[in-house]
Copies of this chain bind each other. A is one copy, B any other.
Amino acid sequence: MTTNRLEAFSDGVLAIVITIMVLEMQVPEGSSWSHLKPVLPKFTSYVLSFMYVGIYWNNHHHLFQAIQKVNGKVLWANLFLLFTLSLLPFTTAWMGENHFEKNPVILYGLNLLLCAIAFLILEKTSTSSDGRSSVISSALESNRKEIISIVLYLIGVITAIFYPIIGLIFFVIVAIVWLIPDKRIENKLKN
């Protein structure tokens, strides 16, 4: 199977996930600036989650640029990733509604952790489906960046139990690390 439809369907789901979160920002009834204040924490968490979904779209894009063929297993690994990402609007909204309190920050971190694991599974599945000798397998061999992210998320979740905001900072650090597009595949494709 080619990757066309897998990419198109993923684009559709990600496009919806990324925009649905805007609906959580309820329009205030008054027209003074102070009426916008309660929307601020939701806006902040929207920005953060937009960045995350953007990062995943970016990495997804990079991944399937290198992969030519997929099998049934990859389709399901991809659906699992989309499922974990589809939970972000809910966990984002819960965190935004409760002004970054302990439990919502923990749940948000667990959600991000789940997304990272799902992406790692997708990478492994698609690499092996494409054949061991493929260009991608050598490019991603180490998965170092992915493993580091998972470790940072874990530390963040544990920290959030005691200091939610510091836990959140760990999540933001992972985002910044990934904001720099994955050069590994780009470089390999050039050679």
Contacts and interface: CB of A to CB of B under 8 A. Distances in A.
A76 interface: yes
Given A5-B61, A57-B9, A179-B76, A86 B31 contact: no
Given A9-B57, A58-B72, A61-B75, A89 B33 contact: no
Interface in A20-67: 20, 22-25, 27-33, 36, 47, 50, 54, 57-58, 61, 65
Interface stretch (A95-103, A118-126, A148-156, A169-177): A95-103
A100 B29 CA distance: 13
A57 to B, nearest CB: 6
A7 B16 CA distance: 15
A163 to B, nearest CB: 16
A97 B57 contact: no
A1 to B, nearest CB: 6
Query: How many interface residues does chain A have, given as a range?
Result: 35 or more
B22 A11 contact: no
A181 B22 contact: no
B27 A24 contact: yes
B19 A13 contact: yes
Contact of A13 (B15, B29, B93, B101): B15
B16 A65 contact: no
29 contacts: A1-B186, A5-B11, A8-B8, A9-B14, A12-B15, A12-B16, A15-B15, A15-B16, A18-B82, A19-B20, A19-B86, A20-B22, A23-B23, A23-B89, A25-B90, A27-B94, A28-B94, A30-B98, A31-B94, A31-B102, A31-B104, A50-B86, A54-B76, A54-B79, A54-B83, A58-B72, A58-B79, A71-B186, A72-B186
